[in-house]
Structure 1
Amino acid sequence: MLKSTIINTSSQTQPSQSSSQEIVIYWFRNDLRIDDNPALVKACQAAEKIIFVYCHGSVINVFDSRQRCRLPQSYGHRQQFIAAALTEVRMQLEASGNTMLELHGSAAACLPQLASEINAKTVYCEEIAAPYEQDEVNALRSTGLHVHTVWHSSLLDPADLPFTADALPQVFTQFRQLIEAEGVRPRSPTPKPARIPALPDNFNAVAARWMQLETKHPKSGTLAAPVASMPTRLSDDPRSSFPYYLPAFSGSASAARNHLQNYLAKKLPHTYKLTRNHLSGHDYSTKFAPWLASGALSARQIYQELKEFEAHHGANEGSYWIWFELLWRDYFRFLHRQYGRKLYAASGLNQASTPTHHEDRFEQWCLAKTEEPLVNAGMRELYSTGYLSNRLRQIVASYLIYDLECDWRAGAAWFEASLIDYDVYSNQGNWLYIAGRGTDPRNGRRFNIQKQMHDHDRDGSYQRLWNTF
């Protein structure tokens, strides 16, 4: 259902709408925050009147499942998490006399019609260097809309890198060492807009018409009929390592900032490297990823607070490792800027043959019906909660690719459908890394399941926790 607030524009002192006014649409994508949002600042500076929009209507990004697989029915963990972020953004905008429209459908389907109704010719949004996201922007431009995209999801600004996009080092270690040797550091977070422009004069009428439309989430034309699903679980599973149903883990930007402050107050950065491979719990890892993925929290905000923490409490290998992981996140982003659509080919960046795929094995993996208890436990946690530790993500991915001999793109698609913290760059980059089809020279990362159980679940506590419904 379309969400917005009807604003009483008649009580505002406004000039009458005319063709000389710049009416702008700001399209929220993976940047659900007001603070440190350069694209939003630019939109507000350019606009006399503005409408803020979020479009519900994505497709599976990474896999042509018509030919290769079917995806089991997935619960909407990420949708519930994002809903909290959208609610808070709307409230912040309403405090400034504006609001947000939530539309069901792709931006390419919704925004041209909306632009026509409000007499807008300009759209501002985040730049996302992934194929489907770029296709959607190109589709908007093909209708005659002027779409201004602004890159702002990375920790480091591309303009500050000591190399051009096409000269990105092909190994992460070389990238990190060059960044550190050159002393490249993040820019400060961008202040919130000095002003939020008013709504177009006809906003109420336009919003009312959209609310009357019987819009639906688009069915993904790339998916065959879903296979059988697991027994239903409520989202408030007390075993979850990221219980997004609790206020402290909700999707809002304020919850993200509070979590960051609490994480630092507990001095957990100092132990991060020691605990980051644990399998369950609230504090073993930073848990920043879900808010980073939705954009409720920016990498630059994290870095700024982390440096203040180190200034007061000292730096060590643990706090350094958070910077290290943020650089990994950046690397996958810059890899997309260099290679784009090539990262989504079956062979990835090398000349390997098209991967094999076994639909029945893939279904068993999705539904936690493999022969490996640790893999099953991880897949149950993912399905039930939308979250999984980084260590287990690597384990289950390796098992799908090397033990079950399935297409890595099918696994990437299932993660996209399931994860609260799905991020197109990191998801694709990590699956390429495990499959040996990216830039890493080791030609893949195959994990020995028995060794992983010995190293990370020796007493079987994680398996006992998740191998029941």
Structure 2
Amino acid sequence: MSTVLFWFRNDLRLHDQPALHAALTSGATHLLPVVCLPAPDERTPWCFARVGPHRRAFTAAALRGLQQQTTVLGNPLLICQAPPAAALPQLAQAVGATTVVCEDIAAPYEQAEIAALRAAGLQVRTVWHSSLLHPADMPWPASDLPGVFTSFRQKVERAGITPAAPLPAPAQLLPPLDVPAPVLQAVGAEQGAAAIQPPAPPQGSDARSSFPYGTPGCDGSEGAVLAHLAQYLARKLPHSYKDTRNGLTGLDYSSKLSPWLATGALSPRQIYADLKAFERNHGANDGTYWLWFELLWRDYFRLLHLQYGAGLYRARGLSELPLAQHNQRGFERWCQGETGEPLVDAAMRELAATGYLSNRLRQVVASYLIYDLRGDWRAGAAWFESQLVDYDVYSNQANWLYIAGRGTDPRGGRRFNPTKQAQDHDADGSYRRLWGTA
């Protein structure tokens, strides 16, 4: 009899789960599915919570859905309120396991978690499965990734590279083993279970929100996102995606798939498979192409991490630009939506109130912090990590580098004029009025 620990990370789903499939077919006879929640008091170097209340609440909803699913399959998810380096070795010893299987995440913090488990004597098998296209299918090694996204996209399209079909959800899980009560207590299982209970009153139901995650249609679970994707396609909204994607308010101006992609409740390969079926039934156009285009951007940021790793997290990024001198007071005003720039303040108030912000406004506020307030881009990236319900380590880091001119973009930074952006995207001032800055 052998047991394998399956550690859910940013892959809180059962459909299209290559890592879980690897655990189920490993030859083990028992499985312990586990997740480790970040400590509520974990802080960033900038002295605020690494995971804020919006992101924590949305992830908790994803975990409630996942636990319900695994319970139906006879093996309830174990939720620990303890770091993986503390919880997983104790659990492994308790159930006689030596192997952990989990998602591979190519970012320094997440790589350090794996190193700590191996240092504790565990065998860790990591499986890459967060991208649409697998890195092994690229026509070049990671070290030769094109330095510009357009070149990457064109080479991928010319080579005709397409994703593999998504895997179905497993019909059953391997049976569990009992974990002794003292071990459950040591790994914070009771606190973990309490942490995913829905709050009262519900969070995320602000009527102004473009992604009201406290409502049933925007619940964090896998079931909710598969229903959301189905209705998005049924209403033929992909056809208008390119025309509406720069909107500022409302649920339908963009696909709103990013929150579920960020927690892993939704697989990008499932999006692609359903989108291609949509095109076969209803036709393709610029809008459907642009969804593919955005998924490729997401892949590109992942491949950049495979190429540069921790280099993307240096203060200088990949550039030789001088270090930013952080404007702490300006940063605080930016976080609070009190800079005096109406569009920026409206956006930052929306982010604080709802945990969501349109892509257009993310670029505007990032530019304002970097170029107008002379703030450290890393502080802005950390604030987004704390606040966004759709925080994605790869996309967040790479997008901030892109705006700051510290990534691979040859233009050396992207500065957005907030006055022009307001004229182009909020000409009637409705967005600024909504958030009390006009």
1:338 Cα offset (Å): 0.7
Flag structure 2 segments of 5+ consecutive residues without an equivalent.
Answer: 194-200
What is residue 57 of structure 1 aligned with on the other side?
38
Go from structure 1 to structure 2 and tell me whether the alpha carbon gap of 1:362 and 1:177 turns closer, same or farther (over 3 Å shift): same
Contact 1:60–1:413 under 8 Å retained in 2 = no
Q: Deviations over 1:67-118 (max 9, x none)?
A: xx44379741111111121112111111121111111121112111111111
**Aligned partners of 1:437 and 1:444 also within 8 Å:** yes
TM-score, normalised to structure 2, is 0.94
The alpha-carbon deviation at position 158 of structure 1 amounts to: 1.1
Which residue of 2 is the match for residue 287 of structure 1?
A: 256
Instruction: Say yes or no: does 1:122 pair with 2:99.
Output: yes
In structure 2, relative to structure 1, the CA distance for the partners of 1:360 and 1:74 (3 Å cut) is farther
Identity %: 56
Give the partner amino acid of 1:275: T
The residue that corresponds to 1:3 in the other structure is none
Q: Which string of whole-angstrom CA distances, capped at 9 and with x for unpartnered residues, describes residues 226-245 of structure 1?
A: xxxxxx99532100000011
Q: In 2, are the aligned partners of 1:126 and 1:151 still within 8 Å (CA)?
A: yes
Partner residue, 1:338: 307
Residue from 15, 18, 32 that aligns with 1:38 = 18
Q: Which residue is 2:108 aligned to?
A: 131
CA distance in 2, matches of 1:347, 1:312: 48
Residue identity matched to 1:24? V
Is 1:92 the counterpart of 2:92 in the alignment?
no
1:269 is displaced (CA, Å) by 0.7
* Contact persistence 1:70–1:359 (CA under 8 A): no
Q: Name 1:350's counterpart in structure 2.
A: 319
Look up the equivalent residue of 2:74 and give its one-letter code: G
Matches of 2:233 and 2:185 in 1, distance apart? Answer: 47
Q: Structure 1: state its 5+ residue gaps.
A: 1-20, 218-231
Name the counterpart of 1:6.
none
Q: Please give the residue correspondences for 1:286-325 in structure 2 after superposition, counting only pairs within 5 Å.
A: 286-325=255-294
- Distance in 1 (CA, whole Å) between partners of 2:220 and 2:328 is 34
- Could you say what secondary structure the match of 1:286 adopts? coil
Distance 2:364 2:172 in 1: 48
- Secondary structure at the aligned position of 1:203 is classed as coil
**Contact persistence 1:104–1:216 (CA under 8 A):** yes
- Please state if 1:29 is matched with 2:9: yes
Q: Count the aligned residue pairs.
A: 429
Hey, what's the Cα distance between the residues in 2 that align with 1:64 and 1:248?
Answer: 32
Corresponding residue number in structure 1 for 2:139: 162
- Secondary structure in 1 aligned to 2:333? helix
Measure, in 2, the Cα distance between the counterparts of 1:59 and 1:404: 30
**Partner of residue 386, structure 2:** 417
Give the secondary-structure state (helix, strand or coil) at the position aligned to 1:87: helix
- Kept in 2: contact 1:74–1:383 (CA 8 A): no
CA RMSD for the aligned pairs?
2.2
Task: Give the letter for the 1:428 counterpart.
Answer: Q
Q: What corresponds to 1:246 in structure 2?
A: 215
Q: Are the counterparts in 2 of residues 242 and 287 from structure 1 also a CA contact under 8 Å?
A: yes
SS of 2:5's equivalent in the other structure is strand
- How far did residue 57 of structure 1 move? 1.2
> Is 1:126–1:150's contact at 8 Å kept on the other side of the alignment?
yes
User: Matches of 1:359 and 1:212 in 2, distance apart?
Assistant: 36
Given the alignment, which residue of 346, 350, 354 partners 1:385?
354
Q: Deviations over 1:121-157 (max 9, x none)?
A: 1100000000000000000000110000000000001
Contact 1:72 1:363 in 2 (8 A): no
Q: Comparing 187-196 with 292-301, which one deviates more in the overlay?
A: 187-196
Asked if the contact 1:290–1:421 (Cα under 8 Å) also holds between the matched residues in 2, the reply is: yes
Q: CA deviation at 1:27?
A: 0.4
The answer on 1:48 being equivalent to 2:29 is: yes
Residue 216 of structure 1, CA deviation: 8.6
Show CA shifts across 1:165-223 (max 9, x none). Answer: 111000000000000000000110012235411112x3364675458778699xxxxxx
* 1:188 and 2:165 are equivalent in the alignment: yes
Give the Cα separation in 2 of the matches to 1:52 and 1:80: 21
What is residue 236 of structure 1 aligned with on the other side?
A: 205
Separation in 1, partners of 2:188, 2:58: 26
SS in 2 for 1:57: coil
Q: Cα gap change, 1:134/1:360 in structure 2, threshold over 3 Å: closer, same or farther?
A: same
